[in-house]
Amino acid sequence: MQAYKTNKYGMPILEIVGVTPTNMTFSIAFVYMHEEKQSNYVWALDCLKSVMEGCMLSLIIVTGRETALMNAYAIIFPDAKGLLCRWHINNNIMKKCKSCWDVLSTSWTRLVNSETKEAYNKNLAQVEKITNTYPDAFVYLNKTWLTPHKEKFVSAWTDKFLNFGNHTTNRADSQHVKLKRYVETSGSDIAKSLKRIDDVVESQYTEYERSKEFGFVYENCGCQVRTSYGLPCAHEQTIFVKKVHCVPLHSVDRFWKKLDLLECKSLEDDNLDCAVEFSKEVTKLNHAVNNFSV
């Protein structure tokens, strides 16, 4: 979710996008608001939720560090996990810690990608050591990002729930670039903007996999792919390989098996059986082959 200004009245437009199981981005909603306040965001998201009856509600919501928006989605979508955009965090740090970013960037990236809390503490100590001669920088990192928000962008926390690899609002940003191409100018009136938004929506009509390691054991796995993507992790894949059979369908979260927005249940309730449909497709294929002539 991101808010932008694309009209001559200076009204913020909240653009909300989603991602399909085939890794495609699609626009969910465009909302013109009077102000970027919590009450406005609550109204916008409540309107969205009201038209999503029977659809799959958001599992995760990625935003910038905008308190009003974060508070609003916590009210309207209390079951969704909130994440902060890593790309925007890095940009803010680059600007704020310009004097030490060159020596800090690698260690900061390692900190953000920490897979365990133990690794996080170790990498945090390294960041603190590097910024020893830049005390203001570490205070900024710790006070603005790490202490209040690390659970929203550091892998040790975010990879403990399904996020399907989404850690930034870049999808929303790229969709906004597309919208601006349609709108042509930020001086457009509301009628023209709405027409261009409709054009964007109309245009929409027109796996992740971690490397297998033999001999991988559960203790060394971490299972991030299972918990964050809903896909078999390294040690599970090793088990399948050793048993010499394909990855069973039930080990893949239902999210990856659907191409609609209808509500779906997670892995533990997944009783999906595609044997009948698969048999039908095989029959069709055999019929087509038998009737093929040159």
Say if residue 92's pLDDT is above 80.
yes
Q: How many helices (H) and strands (E) does the chain have?
A: 14, 5
- As a whole number of angstroms, the distance between CA 63 and CA 16 comes to 10
Lowest-confidence region among 22-31, 119-128, 171-180: 171-180
Which whole number is the average pLDDT over 174-178?
55
What is the number of other CB atoms lying within 10 angstroms of the CB of residue 158?
23
Which whole number is the average pLDDT over 211-238?
67
Given its phi and psi angles, is residue 127 left (phi above 0), alpha (psi -120 to 50 degrees) or beta? alpha
- As a whole number of angstroms, the distance between CA 214 and CA 242 comes to 9
Which whole number is the average pLDDT over 31-38?
89
Both structure tokens of 138: 């570490």
Torsion angle in degrees (nearest 10) through CA of 247, 251, 255, 258: 50
Better pLDDT: 9 or 36: 36
Which whole number is the average pLDDT over 60-73?
93
Which whole number is the average pLDDT over 70-91?
94
Domain ranges of the chain: 2-85+168-203, 101-155, 218-290
The pLDDT value recorded for residue 22 is: 63
Say if residue 144's pLDDT is above 70.
yes
In sequence order, the β-bridge partners of residue 274 are none
- As a whole number of angstroms, the distance between CA 103 and CA 222 comes to 29
pLDDT band with cut points at 50, 70 and 90 for residue 248: confident
pLDDT band with cut points at 50, 70 and 90 for residue 283: confident
Burial 172-201 (b: 16+ CB within 10 A, else e): bbebbebbeebbeeeebeeebbeebbeebe
Residue 171 in contact with residue 17, Cβ under 8 Å?
yes
The pLDDT value recorded for residue 209 is: 44
The pLDDT value recorded for residue 6 is: 53
In sequence order, the β-bridge partners of residue 29 are 16
What is the number of other CB atoms lying within 10 angstroms of the CB of residue 170?
16
Say if residue 211's pLDDT is above 50.
no
Better pLDDT: 205 or 101: 101
In sequence order, the β-bridge partners of residue 12 are 5
| % of the chain residues with pLDDT over 90 | 38
For the 2-85+168-203 domain, the top CATH level (class) is alpha beta
Which whole number is the average pLDDT over 226-249?
76
- As a whole number of angstroms, the distance between CA 1 and CA 12 comes to 12
The pLDDT value recorded for residue 212 is: 44
The pLDDT value recorded for residue 277 is: 64
